[in-house]
Amino acid sequence: MEKGNQTSVPIFLLLGLFDWVEQRQLFGLFLWMYLLGVLGNLLIALAVSSDPHMHTPMYFFLSNLSLSDACLLSTTIPKMLANLLTQDKSISYDGCLAQMFFFLLFVGLDDFLLTSMAYDRYVAICHPLHYTTIMNPRLCALLVAGSWSVSSLDSLIHTLLVVPLSFCTDNEILHFFCEPNRVRKLSCTDTLINDVVLYVVAVVLAIFPFVGIVFSYTRIITTLLRVPSAKGRYKAFNTCCSHLLGVSLFYGTGCGVYLSPISTQASQKGSIASVMYTVVTPMLNPFIYSLRNKDMKEALRNVFRGKTVFMQRL
C-alpha cells in the first residue's frame, strides 16, 4: 500500500498470543475465563444492588468496579474468540479505535475506583466517628462520576491522537487486541508529539491514584499500630485485605507489563503477560471480594435463593 492517511489501512491483523493453531486449542480456556469473569462480576453487582444491608459506600464502589471489570473483559475477549472461530485475524480500523477507547476507559475506571475504595477504608479506620458524615451518598456519587469523567477524557485523548496518524503497509499487531502502544508503533508518520502527550497524561493519571492509595494505607497502618488490642488491629485490617489483594494484582500485573524493557513489551512475552491484567485480574476480582467476606457470601446466597428485594415485593 502507498503511504497515505489512516484509510490506507482499512483493517489490522491481530496475531494473538501464540501460533494460530495453539490459540485455537486454547479457545475453550479463554471462553471459560470470559464467562466466569463476566458472570462473577455481574453476580457481585446484582448481590450489592439487591441487598439493602449492602447499600454502603464500600459496596457501592465494589459494584461499580465489578461492572467495569465485566465491561473490560467484554472489550477484548469476544473479538479474539470470534477471530478464532472464524479463523479470521482481521479487525476493522474503526473497530480497532473503538476497542482502544473502551479498553483505556475501563482500565482507567478500575484505577480510580480502587483509589476511591482505598479512601473509603482510610476514612472508616482513621475517622470512624465521622465515617457516615464524610462518606455521604453525594460524595460517593461524585467520586464515581469523576472516575467516569476523567477516564473517558483520558481514553478520548488517546484515541483522537491516533486518528491523524498514517498507516502504510505494516498492519500486523502482535497482540490479541488493539493495544494502544502497539497500534501507534505501526504508524509510518512521526509520533513524537503523540508519544509525549500520551506519556505525560498516562503518568499523571497513573501516579495520582497510586499516591492516593499509598497515602491511604500509610495512614491506615499508622492508625492500626496505635490500637492496643491485637484482635482489634486484626479485625480492622481484615476489612482491607481484599482491597489490598485487588490493588496488588492490578498494579503488579500492569506495572509488570509497562515497566518491563521495551523489547519485552513489543514481544510475544509482553502480549502473554498482558493477559494477567486484562483477563486474569478482572476474572479473579469476584473471588477476591467474596470468599473472605461474610456479608457478600450471604448476599450471593440470597441471590441464588431468589431472596432479592424485588422478589420479596412480588
Provide the residue range defining the domain that includes 135.
Answer: 6-313
**175 in Cβ contact with 91 (< 8 Å):** no
Residue 286 resides in a domain: yes
**What is residue 6's three-state secondary structure?**
helix
pLDDT at position 242: 85
**What is the residue-wise DSSP string for 131-173?**
HHHHS-HHHHHHHHHHHHHHHHHHHHHHHHHHTT--B-S--EE
Cα gap 256→270, rounded to integer Å? 9
SS (H, E, C) 65-111: HHHHHHHHHHHHHHHHHHHHHHCCCEEEHHHHHHHHHHHHHHHHHHH
31 within some domain: yes
* First-to-last C-alpha distance (Å) of the chain: 63
CATH number at residue 95: 1.20.1070.10
pTM for this one?
A: 0.87
Which residue is listed with cell 494473538? 16
- Domains contained in the chain, number: 1
Q: How confident is the model at residue 19, as a pLDDT? A: 59
Residues of the chain with confidence (pLDDT) below 70: 1-9, 18-24, 256-271, 292, 306-314
Grid cell locating 13: 491483523
Residue 1 lies in a domain: no
